[in-house]
Structure 1
Amino acid sequence: MGIFTGAGVALVTPMNADGTVNFEQLRALVDWHLEQGIDAIIACGTTGEASTLKDEEHIAVIEAVVKQVAGRIPVIGGTGSNDTQHGIHLSMEAERVGADALLVVTPYYNKATNKSLVKHYEAICEKVSIPVILYSVASRTGLNLTPAMVAELKKIPNVQGIKEASGNISQIVEICQLADDNFQVYSGNDDQVLPLLSVGGSGVISTIANLLPAETSKMVHDYLAGDLQAAQKTQLAQLPLIHAIFTEVNPVPVKAAVSLLGKCDCHYRLPLDAPEDSTLALLKKEMTAYGLL
């Protein structure tokens, strides 16, 4: 079974100059990703600037994506919080508006203990009936999900996957030992997709897919179908562009890159702001080299 196999795009959230969400551009982006053959859409994750969206906007974005997708691929709502009650609220609301699954990041800043972390996820999962994907990204949250903790959290019935963004290959290998029909492991790093697939992963929750949805999906499916040479060629070809979109903190460069494609305006909410001129120059250079401009 599983939630999805392949590439899920961690979708940017288009905004107007006044900081409001541009729902027209959002719906057009969803349509484009569907045309390109993306395998899933993650709305209101880190790349979607969820941390600066009001709750009403947060849920409205997820709902707009759900309605536009209309059941064709899974829609995964980002609903993590460092306040368990807030996480419960967002998760219940995301389920109410039709999300197929939830991406729930570890609580940030609070430094939860192992015991309280289990209680946190149990409290959220008890209030929803849809699958939950754990999200481990210690570089942002200060909290790493060790293989032992993943094994413990995996016992919660609707915990059905993890987005693993530690960058630690040894840890990824250990976590992939836990993968089965009811628990999928997704790469959270675009430059480590094939290494993760090689030890049993199911795909990637991807930032670069905002620019290369068809190629990123095909790369995963090529690998899983046994065409290792084609998959390797794609992974290596994407590297310069991957490095470019992480020159500054995500999602600043990738949103600028989507804007260069003409698919959204380049507006952010503080504390994020427009990229440096040098970043824009690098994006244009690498996007041109890849044939996107």
Structure 2
Amino acid sequence: MGTPLGDFIRAKRDAIQPDSLGLPDRGRRRSPGLRRLDLAARAGISVEYLARIEQGRDRNPSTAVVNAIADSLSLAASERNHLRYLAKITSDECSAHFKPAPPLRRIRPSVMDTLHMLEQGLAIVTNRLGDVLAHTSTYAAVTKGTGLLDGDPPNITRYVFTDPRARALFLDWDDIADEQAFDLWLAPSVENLEWLTAELIPLAGSEFTRRLNRHQVPRRGVLRLKHPSGPELRLTRETLELPADDQQIVVFLPVDDQTARTVEQLGRQSTGRLRSIS
């Protein structure tokens, strides 16, 4: 059985063309990308050792080996961070001390006070699973009619992969799907994988599992929404991490004047108020 670390290394190896690293073309092969032999040689480790890491038979590569593999794959900074994170959660030491715990859905009063200060704008509190734990009334007004807040609790990950309305709302649905799948690896415990297996994977199918297992570090560009009333909204996202709670406050800011006017108009139409769902 493989591991997240092995899956990521294998996915990156398969995505690299040998000539991009100055390696000779060795002719036809059964799978695309960089050969295990070539990666092992570049990293200064044996082919057998690399195979054990990729196949999950060795769960404790040293920091030096992890860094050598990152160098050999020419990983970007964000990909290196993800590789190190996967090495940490894959290790036997981490697994031995792991105690499954459900994701925290309670919101501290000071977090709600912070969200209250953002009430005139678009803001939510989420956990790593994508549960929307609280939101401003403006956020509810902007997403009204999309089904995003219909769940109990509403969950962005489930919505993106299982609700057909998500593809109409998110104009760059593929990018958003990559983000939601990737962020699940940052969740606080493997209890989340149990949640995925039991609930999301049977509903979302291969579209979800393919993105989850390829560990594609998302771009996180401008968020483009197609509002049901017609206009396109273009928003940037600023995220305030709450590490003690494994939660985040996400604030959505208009990129252009048209978006700002539309958000303001929708906000004035709202009859709701700040809501905590947890």
Normalising by the smaller structure, the TM-score range is under 0.3
Larger Rg: 2
TM-score by length of 1: 0.24
TM-score by length of 2: 0.25
